[in-house]
Structure formats: C-alpha cells, structure tokens
Amino acid sequence: MFLKPHCLPLFITLFSLSLSSCLGSYREHPLHPKPYHPYFHTFGVSNKPNYPTLNSADLFNYNIEIRTSAPKIVNVDAFGAKANGRDDSQAFKKAWKYACSSSQRATLVVPKKKVYHLKPIDLSGPCKSAISLNGTIRATVNHSDYERYEGRWLYFDKVQNLRVEGGGIINGNGRTWWENSCKINKALAVTFNECNNLIVASLLIKNAQQMHLSFRKCVNVKAFNLLVKAPGHSPNTDGIHVTETQNININNCVIGTGDDCISIVSGSKNVRATGITCGPGHGISIGSLGARKSAAYVSNVLVNNTILSGTTNGVRIKTWQGGSGYARNIRFQNIVMYNVSNPIIIDQNYCDQQKPCPKQVSAVRVSNVFYKNMRGTSASRVAMKFDCSKSFPCRGIFFQDVALRPQEEEQEDIGKASCANVRLSYRGNVSPPCSS
C-alpha cells in the first residue's frame, strides 16, 4: 500500500507524535513485595512475627517492555555466550565492550532460563549501558582463575548512571571457598567501585565467595527489591557492604547470610536502610571502625522498619581501640527482633583476633545514637550492652519506647543491660534499663 501525496503530511505528524510518546519506553516492572510496615503490629513478645516473603516466583515476576524507541539491545548470546556449562567470560566482555561503544544508551541482556558461567570479569566505564539480568550468572570454582583479580569476581568500575536489574540470579558458587580460610584470597561476588547514580534492583544474589554486594566510593545509590542469601555457617558472606559511599538507599530487601546482613564502614555518609528482613546472620552493623589505629568516619545513618530473626547480633556499632574519627548521627527505629543475641550493642573495645588486643587510649568517638520503637526477644540474658571507651565515652545515646525481653519463657520477664562509660537519656518505656 502506498500513501497518497495529500496524506503524507498527516502521516508524518502522527508518526512524530507516536515516536515522542515512546521516548524512554524501556520501562521496568519490578517486583513489589508486600510492604513491611504492617508487620510491626502483628508481633508480640510470645509469638514469632509474620514475615513478608520474597520467593523466587515473586522475584522472577519481572518483565521488560521494549518498544521501537527502546535503548539498543545487546544480547550476550549474539557475542558467543552458550550457557552450556563452559566459560562465557569472553562473550560477556565482547558484549559489554560493544554496548559501551554505542553512541546511544544500550542495554546488555542476559536471557532468562539460561545459566552462564563466568570467570572474574571487569566491566569498566565510561559507558552508557544498562544491564537486564534475566537469567543466571554462576561463578567459576577454579581458585586459580582469581589470582590476578585481587579479590573480585564481578567488578563494575567507574560506570555512571548504571542500572542493573531484571529478576535474574547471581550465584557466587562460594561453597568451595567456605571450606578454606575465611579471609584469604576470597573474592567479593559483586562490587561497584566509583559508580555514581546507580540502581541495583530485583535480583537474587546467593552463595557469595565472600561478601555478596559491595558499594565502594559510590554516590547516589538505590538498592531495592533484593534477595540475598547464603547458609548461616558461610564465613564472611556479608549481604550488603557499604564503604566510602554517600547517599545510598537500601530498601525492601530480604537478607540471610553467614555474616552481617548490612555492614557500613568508614567513609560512608547518608545511609538509609528501610524495610529490611535480616536472618540468619550477624545483624546490621556499623563497623568495624578504626582497626590498626586508622581514622574512620561514619555519619547520618538510618535503619528503619526492619525485622531481625535468629541473628547473632541485632543493631551494632563496633570500633577498635586505638583508632580515631567518629560514628555519629545514627538512628535505629521501628525494629522488631525475634530470638536475637545481643539485640543492641555498642562495642568500642572490639577485637577480632586470636591474641588479646592491647589497651589503647584513643578511640573512634560514638555520639548521637537514637533508638526508638524497638521490641522483641533476646536470645542472650543481656539484651543491651554498651562497652564504651573510658577515654571517650559514648555520648548522646537516646532511648524511646524500647522493650526487649528474654526469649525463654522460664527466664525473668526483664532482661539485663550492661552499661559502661555511656551517657544515656530515656523517654517513654525502656526495658531493660541501664543500672549505671
């Protein structure tokens, strides 16, 4: 069919309007787990909370709509990826290089229902690419493949305005690493280094060699709808690790690992973690800070609307003796704990080594820490522990409406608080109270 000459202007006008309406039409439809906040009203000290679930069916309910004006699609299969159990690293590198060389924004697509095996790989910027991870990426188990990569597997370096999402799976294949020394030559599963304006969403990250997801020197980060899991016995498998990163929002994540669900260390500022379900693991930690007499700085942290279950710690701040700097302006609020050891702890005498740590005068200063609307059960007799520095006591520690009691019914209704070198203020009902 051919257009008549007098119809051509009308056709051009309609086509232009259609094209403009499609701009930016690479639209994501991420999963939307049940909101967390209603669950905080269903928990009593004698019953386990009703946890919101984030299962694989929810995770993979993620569709990508591509229209005429969508970004350029770069499928890893087109560059030789086979997903046949053999190494696909070179195909991924070629696809990334091609996507980054595009003059327009490109989306690297990892197709669903396929499993790709990768050796350590560096994905560097500058680049205008996004990643739609629909299938599974699995790490090599050959330790020699990591020797020249200095503790990394999937490493994103200096990629700005990056989006990584799609409902797929990142499998660190970490079991062979867990059997060996927990801190020697192990790779971090996924690292974002100096990536600003970053979005990481709607992914399952599991069985990391060491830490699952690390943000290093990033600015303006959104991490949401993530399921992070590893066995409770897997060593040093932090869920989300934040270091030297500013303006990061971690939202609506379910994390269960063998170490901290979320760890926040030096150089981090303006960190928000909301709607987190944590367990198993070591809880949510700020630190450790000040190791080897170093200076460390963390400020403006909010942990809100969070459930912790069966963790070895609840919310924790840990600093080494001999360090300097500060951890300040920190809020823990609207938190439910079930059978948690050490629900609330500030430890300025942290020592993670076999030999006893020598006494030091200097310390990372801890101040302006706010605990509000926290309740639940403690697996340990001491529900609150403040082991602060004699030289630089913890200052400005404020409690409002906190109720923690022993998990076992035969124990006394009120637990204990251990408080050394700390200056506290209370409002509302706070239990257990400090006796000093």
Q: Please give the positions annotated as active site.
A: 282
Question: If we measure between CA atoms, which residue out of 110, 78, 106, 105 comes closest to residue 94?
Answer: 78
* Two tokens, residue 329: 């302006």
Give the Cα separation of 347 and 135 in Å (integer). 42
β 295-309/152-157 pair status: unpaired
Question: If we measure between CA atoms, which residue out of 318, 242, 243 comes closest to residue 285?
Answer: 318
Dihedrals phi, psi of 40, to nearest 5 degrees: -75, -10
Write the burial class of residue 76 (CB in 10 Å: 0-12 exposed, 13-18 middle, 19+ buried): buried
CB count, 10 Å around CB of 212? 28
Give the Cα separation of 255 and 308 in Å (integer). 10
Residues 29 and 63 sit within 8 Å (Cβ to Cβ): yes
Residue type, 281: G
Give the Cα separation of 203 and 436 in Å (integer). 46
* Two tokens, residue 185: 């030559």
Question: If we measure between CA atoms, which residue out of 39, 45, 36, 35 comes closest to residue 402?
Answer: 45
Question: If we measure between CA atoms, which residue out of 387, 394, 308 comes closest to residue 351?
Answer: 387
Write the burial class of residue 57 (CB in 10 Å: 0-12 exposed, 13-18 middle, 19+ buried): exposed
